[in-house]
Amino acid sequence: MTLEDMLQLCQSPNIDPSCPDHTSPSGQISLDPEAYTMLPITILISTISSILVVTAMSIRIFTRFRLLHQFAIEDVLMVIATIGFFGFLGALFSSAPYGLGKHMWDITLSQALLLLHRVYAGQILYCFHMYPAKLAVVLQVKHIFTSSLLKREFLYWACWATIALLTSSYVSILFICVFPCVPIRKAWGPAVEGWCMDRSLPGITGAMTGLVTDLVVLVLPVIGVAGLQMPRRQKIAVAAVFAVGVFACTTSAIRLNFTLDTHLKDDTTYWFIVQATCAIAESAAVMLCCCFPVFPRFWKYIIQHYDVRRARYHASGGQIDLGTKNNSEQGIVGAV
């Protein structure tokens, strides 16, 4: 498209949908076919996060269901959070054909309108993912550190206060994300008559809530570990399990910084994916925090399983007795 064609098509009142969604800065070309995009970086971080989440959840479900014969409410919440996590990724990457990750002057008006619809869905799915994940972490801390009546003091009530904070916060965020405009369809159809709140409000509210709740969820297990009667080395080891929460807090702070930067509001298609990438990393960190406590039990099972098989291998003169393999595995599960 030449500059003359663009000027003719993109002048009011009849703006063509193939026009750039935004005026390009001085010295930049609109609708550049070789325009830079953040999408490859987001794909890389999403792939790593997905592998970590699937691996951690597989270990958690196997350990809780097969080895411990337990499946509590926090396990159900983690399954829901995992489904929500991949639903969020699905909504995010369904926007890729419409220019997500590119600057607004490198996508057309029609692409931007289709993109807004998927951003709307992605924000809602993020709430349905993040709330159960953080709630599962708090419930797990409550069950681990306040199982005895003697320990139902500060930490017990702190957990309940955190649950109330999480619930009220994410219900409020969900309401803002579901009803950003009146009527709702104006959220992805600017031409529809109606009213909309500031488009940055859902992002700012979500980022601030994410940072505050991440900090609270990080502090709770540290308080619980500090009150346990165990050697200092073990305390450090247990606290290190939750240390990945520091990473979640860091990504929340970075996301909040990008959200509050008013200079970025004029290039939402580019900076939204930056915020979404931070949210993906934060989500993976929170879910890993909830899965880490079962890792020692799973590792114990692996070690015992290996030791039994090695002992049988040496006892049989280098030949594995396949007939007794299942019995030995059942014995390991029972011992764990």
DSSP secondary structure, 78-93, as one string: HHHHHHHHHHHHHHHH
pLDDT in the model for residue 313:
67
pLDDT in the model for residue 232:
62
Residue 135: which pLDDT band, with cuts at 50, 70 and 90? Answer: very high
**Has residue 10 got a pLDDT over 70?**
no
Domain holding 210: CATH number?
1.20.1070
Name, in order, each residue with C-beta under 8 angstroms of 165's C-beta and a sequence gap of 6 or more. 212, 213, 216
293 preceded by a cis bond (ω within 30 of 0):
no
99, 36 Cβ separation under 8 angstroms: no
**Has residue 9 got a pLDDT over 90?**
no
Is residue 95, in this structure, part of any structural domain at all?
A: yes
Is residue 93, in this structure, part of any structural domain at all?
A: yes
SS3 at position 138: helix
- pTM of the model as a whole: 0.78
What is the residue-averaged pLDDT of the chain? 77
Domain count, the chain: 1
% of the chain residues with pLDDT over 90: 17
Is residue 54, in this structure, part of any structural domain at all?
A: yes
What mean pLDDT comes out for the span 299-317? 76
Give the dihedral of Cα atoms 13, 19, 20, 21; nearest 10 deg: 50
Nearest one of 188, 24, 59, 46 to 111, comparing CA atoms: 188
pLDDT in the model for residue 264:
54
Nearest one of 238, 45, 212, 62 to 130, comparing CA atoms: 212
What mean pLDDT comes out for the span 66-89? 92
Please give the structure tokens belonging to residue 88.
């969020």
> Residue length, the chain?
336
Is residue 166, in this structure, part of any structural domain at all?
A: yes
Contacts 24+ apart (CB under 8 A), 65-70: 66/333, 67/297, 67/298, 67/301, 67/333, 67/336, 68/294, 68/297
SS3 at position 101: coil
Is residue 196, in this structure, part of any structural domain at all?
A: yes
pLDDT in the model for residue 159:
86
CA dist., res. 138 & res. 170, Å (int):
15
SS3 at position 123: helix
Residue ranges with strand state E in the chain: 181-182, 195-196
Is residue 14, in this structure, part of any structural domain at all?
A: no
Is residue 284, in this structure, part of any structural domain at all?
A: yes
Name, in order, each residue with C-beta under 8 angstroms of 185's C-beta and a sequence gap of 6 or more. 192
Is residue 327, in this structure, part of any structural domain at all?
A: no
User: By residue range, what is the domain housing residue 208?
Assistant: 37-303
CA dist., res. 291 & res. 293, Å (int):
6
